[in-house]
Structure 1
Amino acid sequence: MMMRKARSKPMDLSHRITPRLLPFEDQAVKTYGKMFVSWIGPTPRVNIMDPEIIREILSNKFGHFAKIRANPLVGLLAKGLVNYDGEKWVKHRRIINPAFHQEKLKMMLPAFYACCSELVEKWEKLVSLEPCEVDVWPYLQNLTADVISRTAFGSSYEEGRRIFELQMEQAKFVIEAARSIYIPGFRFVPTRKNRRMNEIYREVCSLLKVMIEKREKAMKLGEARTDDLLGILMESNYKEIKEGGNAKNLGLSIDEVMEECKLFYFAGQETTSTLLVWTMIVLSMHPEWQVKAREEVHQVFGREKPDFEGLNHLKVVTMILNEVLRLYPPGLMLTRVTYKEMELGNVRLPPQVELAMPILLVHHDRELWGEDAEEFNPERFSEGISKATKNQVSFFPFGWGPRICIGQAFALTEAKMALAMILQNFSFELSPTYTHAPFTIVTLQPQYGAQLILHKL
């Protein structure tokens, strides 16, 4: 009810977004303090905003804090690494890690560049004669879908696009399911929605299976490419199985590889598109920072193609991206659950208590970030994240600890490439038709689009 009321109308053009996005938690913190207990149906949930306790939970040295079991329907979207615990998580992380090494990331830069060039060309056609209003949000969604299609599946780009479309449709169903009370067994009732979700699941699996089997054949013939995520993952998996000899449970099955591919797709596309759209909106609200970022891009690259070394030297752009991630994190909350009685801070908790770490509230907390916590001030990151956070866990847009997002460097490199190329070619400002209304589907998005006026430079 509070959520519906908070989101029923747009907000003013500011970064004070917590009452709109987490109205219950925002109000409860003001009334009861930062650590309070609420109930999610029959389950108690403790709100945690102390950086030291967040560190303890997310470092999870002794495996005391498990991921919360999701509604089984969520598994139709993607299982994969993010949903595993214990030995299974360790094995999957070990096999997937090579795909995200810096050297492999460099190999993916041409794909990033090709996709960004296509976006620039599309926008140039729209604004070739005069400045033009463009809703940049769908373009940025398509950009990041194209990037993940090419970097995950290489030449199987068209098949990749079909998977993306199906996964986007599935995401909407999954979020509806996650927000409703789960009735055991209800997912087997042949309702229209359940039937469609299962159809999507089967089609995505069959598309991925064909791609994976093609790669397996090519690998046996020594013809497989290893410069995309699927190739690197399968090469790493093959190596693990080969080195393990006849040991049981080594490597990933085809079904497990399939689930990791679905997760690449979903996580890789969602986080980067939301980071880019909020960066463009915020730089339209704060044109002085747009000018600073463009000056830096011109200083590092001129009109030339951005390269890996140069992207790593973009200090102002990195400060801006970090500040956007602070104010508009892709995910609003992390949750864990206790599996036995334990002490956390100075509180003793029984088993099966949910622990909620509201990223958004921590990122906007004045006690941690100062009186300007809800203002856009990239300068706070001028000496890096550790200095800005005073070495506390008060900035964790990609999670923290051993389970920090494996694709963080991938997402940030892609965002830097896209932003550098946009700044080289366009200036942009908010259109009078833009309505400021952040809301969540899976990630934090602009509810009514991102209408900007683009000017060709």
Structure 2
Amino acid sequence: METMTLSSVLISIFCVIIVTGLIKVVNWVWLKPKKLERLLKQQGFSGTCYKFLIGDLKDFTSMRTQALKTPMNGFSNDYFQRVEPFRHHLASRFGNDFFLWFGPIPMLSISKPEMVIEAFTKTHDIRKPKVNPVFDKLFPGLVSYEGEKWAQHRKLINPAFHMEKLKLMLPAFCDSCAEIINRWEMVVAKTGSGELDVWPDLMKLTATVISRAAFGSNYEEGQRIFELLKEQTEVTLLMLQSIYFPGRRFIPTKRNRRFKDIEDKIHTSLRAIISKRKADIEAGEAVKADLLGILLDSNSKEIQQAGNNKNRPVGMSLEEVIDECKLFYLAGQETTSTLLVWTLILLSKHQDWQARAQEEVLQTFGDNVPDFEGLRQLKTVTMILYEVLRLYPPAMQVTRYVNKDTNLGAFSVPSGALITFFLHTIHRNQESWGDDAHEFKPDRFAEGISKATKGTNAFFPFGWGPRICIGEKFAMTEAKMALSMILQRFSFDLSPSYVHAPETVMFLQPQHGAQIVLHKL
């Protein structure tokens, strides 16, 4: 009898667990999405109807794959239909503000600058998305943290990006640029001009800058890390195109095993660089004026100041330092290389602006190596870089997760929804930028960003608010240095072989390279 009773209890517990699990699954894949769909439509939002489990992922993937098979018909700065064909299709139906389905999660596309700024500032209620943990593995560290941990890491990393520290990194910028320019001069040496695809060289340039400025090493030492990060990015994008469910990343699929293998190799390489640096410091060597040296010094001081105070954070662990270094590598290299490649492409198309920038650079520096104060005074070059960031922002979209029911403008956004801001749409809003919003006109920034946007401040290439990109000044200084040194030695125009085909891998880049004809000055 007791055995029967025990068996009955176990069966009952098992049934309760199964039923509870089924209820949660049904709620996740159907009841909650349909409830959120009703709430959004009641507030006047238009969007697609929810499809069981997959949402709009199938349509998104198939339309994007088809669009990337064909380059654009001629050169145009309006490339949204090629890069985001599904969202372009929805915008043509519903306007710029609509919702679609990322699996069972609604994703609201918002284009009004004031709502974007509000979302950027409500960091407690509107946070970085946690849709798929694999994304945090690719972009770890500061960019993925929230709350107190984010504040602590931001405080520790901030000293590395102060202006006086950037000045000390200028030789690393200069040496890296000089290597690429010397190679280009060999291309044009015989005839005074020559054609080459500058995209691989610009990626190598920014990789070298990060290796030197962040770790004091040359490109060869960091090359393997960049190769691994590139492969890991490709694997991640494939993983993000399918529905994530809890625990999926632990299933030993071929893709998951490859991702983990790459992750282990990257961590091993970075751990070796960091451990060697820590050993050098402990042996009495002076702290080097690179990002890693400054970070380790800042972290060490924080740990010492914390002392025995158990209520105070005690700095970063070794694994956290590794994560921040990985973020330096990926974000620092990819974003600046894309900014530079689109700058050269657009200046090749707009020879008048190339001539104006070249005149400013030569008047400021002559044949001398660009210095920090001179770079800060480059008004025309700065206007050009801003306009490139407006038309070709490295990150095409910014996504946030609504942590709890939140008011955003006149809307009440329900907890569990995603919000996405497409910079392509916001940066071409005619109310903010005028009727010529699709045109390359750097002089719109002649009196600053506020004037350029008619007071709306609808310019977010580095984000906004408390979480604005910590590396903004680093990236802009590097881009100014590279562009200045190129303009000191070359003029350039687009090759007839160039095919205009923007695409997003993780950042916006030319799918078929950037073939440019260089002319020696």
TM-score, L = length of structure 1: 0.97
Q: Distance in 2 between matches of 1:189 and 1:246?
A: 42
Name the counterpart of 1:124: 185
Alpha-carbon contact 2:97-2:109 (below 8 Å) kept: yes
How many pairs are equivalent? 456
Query: Which structure exhibits the higher relative contact order, with contacts defined as CA atoms closer than 8 Å and separated by 6 or more residues?
Result: 1
- Note closer, same or farther for the CA distance 1:391–1:402 as it changes in structure 2 (3 Å cut): farther
2:307 is the alignment partner of 1:245: yes
- Report the residue type matching 1:153 in the other structure: F
After superposition, give the CA deviation of every residue in 1:312-361 in whole Å (9 maximum; x if it has no partner). 11111000000000000001111112122222111122211111111111
Find the residue that maps to 1:31 and give its secondary structure.
helix
Partner in structure 1 of residue 154 of structure 2: 93
Say yes or no: does 1:277 pair with 2:338: no
Q: Secondary structure at the match of 2:393?
A: coil
Q: Name the counterpart of 1:114.
A: 175
Question: Who is 2:63 aligned against?
Answer: 2
What is the distance in 1 between the residues matched to 2:201 and 2:269? 25
Q: Which moved more, 1:355-364 or 1:432-441?
A: 355-364
Evaluate the alpha carbon distance shift between residue 35 and residue 78 of structure 1 in structure 2; reply closer, same or farther with a 3 A threshold. closer
CA distance in 2, matches of 1:157, 1:225: 21
Distance 1:256 1:280 in 2: 36
Amino acid at match of 1:81: L
Which residue of structure 2 lines up, in the alignment, with residue 200 of structure 1? 262
Amino acid at match of 2:333: Q
Matched, 1:338 2:399: no
Alpha-carbon distance, 1:386 to partner: 1.9
Give the match for residue 151 of structure 1: 213
State how 1:163-242 maps to structure 2 within 5 Å. Answer: 163-242=225-304
Question: Structure 1 residue 300: deviation in Å?
Answer: 0.4
Which amino acid in the other structure matches residue 266 of structure 1? Answer: L
Aligned to 1:15: 77
Q: Distance in 1 between matches of 2:120 and 2:139?
A: 22
Residue of structure 1 in register with 2:445 after alignment: 381
Which of these residues, 406, 431, 435, is aligned with residue 495 of structure 2? Answer: 431
Give, in whole Å, the separation in 1 of the partners of 2:387 and 2:178: 26
Q: 1:82 aligns with which of 134, 137, 143?
A: 143
2:425 to 361, 384, 408: 361
Give runs of aligned pairs for residues 402-421 of structure 1, distance below 5 A.
Answer: 402-421=466-485
Of 166, 174, 197 in structure 2, the residue corresponding to residue 105 of structure 1 is 166
SS in 2 for 1:164: helix
Note the alpha carbon deviations across 1:3-29, whole angstroms, 9 max, x for none.
233322111211111221222333323
Deviation at 1:157, TM superposition (A): 5.3
Cα distance in structure 1, aligned partners of 2:433 and 2:68:
26
Contact 2:502-2:510 within 8 A present in 1 as well:
yes
Any unmatched runs of 5+ in structure 1? none
Pair 305,314 (structure 1): closer, same or farther in 2 beyond 3 Å: same
| Unmatched segments (≥5 aa) in structure 2 | 1-61
The answer for the alignment partner of 1:444 in structure 2 is 508
Q: Distance in 2 between matches of 1:288 and 1:48?
A: 35
Q: Which runs of 4+ in 1 moved over 4 A?
A: none
1:452 alignment partner AA: I
Q: Aligned partners of 1:88, 1:391: CA distance in 2, in Å?
A: 34
Q: Which moved more, 1:329-338 or 1:441-450?
A: 329-338
Check whether the contact 1:364–1:374 (CA below 8 A) recurs between aligned residues.
yes
**Alignment-derived partner of residue 30 in structure 2:** none
2:435 is matched with 371
The AA in structure 2 aligned to 1:342 is T
More displaced stretch, 307-316 vs 76-85: 76-85
**Equivalents in 2 of 1:346, 1:416: separation in Å?**
41
What do residues 142-183 of structure 1 show as CA deviations (whole Å, max 9, x unaligned)? 000000000111046543222122111211111211222224
Q: 1:74 to 1:350 in 2, by over 3 A?
A: closer
TM-score, scaled relative to structure 2: 0.85
Contact 1:64/1:339 (8 A) holds in 2: yes
Match in the other structure for 2:465: 401
Aligned letter for 2:361? V
RMSD between superposed Cα atoms in Å: 1.4
Q: Note if contact 1:215-1:224 (Cα within 8 Å) is conserved in structure 2.
A: no
Aligned residue type for 2:229? Q
Larger radius of gyration: 2
Letter aligned with residue 246 of structure 2: P
